């Protein structure tokens, strides 16, 4: 361990930087997961809508449909519409989750930048402290050398 007077602060800043990196990684993973979930729900919704449209088209073009079959088809399509509504609700929730994950990601990126800047400030201070210390040591040695030269 060095004798730098702000060593504890340096270690705190290093830990804060590492924590910020981990938070950013977790935020990226949550964002990626939210994107994937939303994409999968949208794909399911599109497939569901396409199948419903295909069934409507096929039934409407079928010749000689009975009232009974029309009622069954309407009931089936009503159930599909209810399923579609649930999928739309899931899509809305997934969109909200993605927005929240995006905000968390932005906050984590800002926190990392701040932690990097704080660590840089401490690092620059340590560099100046070391340079000043080296300069003082150099002057002390010069003074000792001058004193020895004057004694001779």
What's the confidence (pLDDT) of residue 2?
Answer: 66
Cα gap 111→118, rounded to integer Å: 10
What's the pLDDT tens digit per position in 19-61? Answer: 999 999 999 999 999 999 999 999 999 999 999 999 999 988 8
Averaged pLDDT for residues 56-71? 89
- The first and second tokens of residue 15, run together, are 């830990």
What's the confidence (pLDDT) of residue 99?
Answer: 98
Helix%, strand%, coil% for the chain, nearest 5: 90, 0, 10
> φ, ψ for residue 20 (rounded to 5)?
-65, -40
Q: 18, 12, 1: which is closest to 123 by C-alpha?
A: 12
Domains of the chain from N-terminus onward: 7-151 (1.10.287.1700)
Give, rounded to a whole angstrom, the gap between the first and last alpha carbons of the chain: 40
Dihedral angle sign, alpha carbons of residues 17, 20, 22, 25: negative
**Mean pLDDT lowest for which of 9-13, 88-92, 109-113, 144-148?**
144-148
Cα gap 98→95, rounded to integer Å: 5
Averaged pLDDT for residues 55-78? 91
For residue 1, pLDDT over 60 is answered with: no
Mean pLDDT of the chain: 94
What's the confidence (pLDDT) of residue 148?
Answer: 84
Cα gap 11→109, rounded to integer Å: 21
For residue 105, pLDDT over 80 is answered with: yes
């Amino acid at each position: 361990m060095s004798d730098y007077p702000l060593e504890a602060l340096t270690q705190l800043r290093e830990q804060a930087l590492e924590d910020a990196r981990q938070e950013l990684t977790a935020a990226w993973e949550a964002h990626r997961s939210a994107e994937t979930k939303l994409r999968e729900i949208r794909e399911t919704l599109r497939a569901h809508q396409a199948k419903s449209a295909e069934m409507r088209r096929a039934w409407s073009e079928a010749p000689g449909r009975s009232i009974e079959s029309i009622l069954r088809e309407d009931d089936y399509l009503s159930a599909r519409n209810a399923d579609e509504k649930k999928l739309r609700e899931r899509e809305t929730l997934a969109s909200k989750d993605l927005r929240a994950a995006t905000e968390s990601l932005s906050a984590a990126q800002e926190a990392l930048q701040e932690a990097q800047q704080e660590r840089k400030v401490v690092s620059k201070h340590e560099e100046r402290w070391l340079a000043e210390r080296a300069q003082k040591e150099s002057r002390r040695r010069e003074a000792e050398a001058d004193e020895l030269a004057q004694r001779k």
